[in-house]
Amino acid sequence: MAVVGVLALQGSFNEHIAALRRLGVKGVEIRKPEQLDSVASLIIPGGESTTMAKLAQYHNLFPALREFVTMGKPVWGTCAGLIFLANNATGQKRGGQELIGGLDCTVNRNFFGSQIQSFEAELSVPELASKEGGPETFRGVFIRAPAILEVGPEVQVLAECPVPSNKVLASRSEVEDQEEKLSEKKVIVAVRQGNLLGTAFHPELTADTRWHSYFLRMSSSVAEVASSSIVAVGGE
């Protein structure tokens, strides 16, 4: 049975483990750097990214997490986990927090506003449609959610979300130069860059396991590419 690590410092790690269990996959709680050696992929849950960063510093996890990412191992960050994986985060109070980085994007931490402005939205996600013609729509749960304001050339956009019309922008000054995006009233909320997946919403809080299945498929294809390049190097 496949084993997936779930960073278990804070936030919705139990919900991710339960979603994996529904797919017959074991999720292992990760709290110490050496525990990362026993898993081939990692989920970083939603929660509160400043608190998560402080706990990660306390447990000396940042070097091991960065190594995990740079080794090309599959990592999926949901919400606070997405912020953690981003190269840049804006909208942070009191000087910000340490990030793992690796995902070439700029994330605005509380783009959609405060806790009471949390919402659900129907997203169009072509990557989730099944070959049998299953739906490509996914109901995203956004809780004090971030949004992705800029992406680098290697980043594939998987989903965008209409900006709710009643939204009070958390930090309008920071997104003023994003006028084009705002006038379209859509922001990026799911991306993939090679071994890294980021979603601004919480699939683990729904009964729909298609994002978890997507991450598992992505992890096997990343592993296949890695092993074929080892064979290729070994064969030279």
DSSP 209: -
How far from 142 is each of 115, 167, 174, 201, CA to CA, in Å? 9, 13, 20, 5
> Residues 109-148 vs ligand GLN: string with x where CB under 6 A?
xx--------------------------------xx-x--
> Could you give the CA distance from residue 69 to residue 108 in angstroms, rounded to a whole number?
21
> Residues 75-104 vs ligand GLN: string with x where CB under 6 A?
----xx--x---------------------
For residue 229, the one-letter residue type is S
Q: What is the dihedral of CA 15, 20, 21, 26, to 10 degrees?
A: -110
Q: Which is nearer to ligand GLN, 80 or 161 (CB)?
A: 80
Residue positions counted in the chain = 236
In the complex, least distance from residue 203 CB atom to ligand GLN, rounded to whole angstroms = 12
- Determine whether 204 is an active site residue: yes
In the complex, least distance from residue 188 CB atom to ligand GLN, rounded to whole angstroms = 16
- Which residue from 48, 98, 136, 208 is in contact with ligand GLN, where contact means CB under 6 A? 48
User: What is the b/e burial string over 155-194, where b = at least 16 CB atoms within 10 angstroms of the residue's CB?
Assistant: beebbbbebeeeeebbeeebbeebeebbeeeebbbbbbbb
47 binds ligand GLN (CB under 6 A): yes
Count of residues interacting with ligand GLN (CB under 6 A): 12
Q: Which is nearer to ligand GLN, 69 or 86 (CB)?
A: 86
> Could you give the CA distance from residue 176 to residue 108 in angstroms, rounded to a whole number?
12
6 alpha carbon, distance to own chain's centre: 12
Catalytic residue among 79, 150, 161, 212: 79
In the complex, least distance from residue 226 CB atom to ligand GLN, rounded to whole angstroms = 29
106 binds ligand GLN (CB under 6 A): no
Q: Give the catalytic positions in this structure.
A: 79, 202, 204
Name the residues that contact ligand GLN, by CB under 6 A.
Answer: 46-49, 79-80, 83, 109-110, 143-144, 146
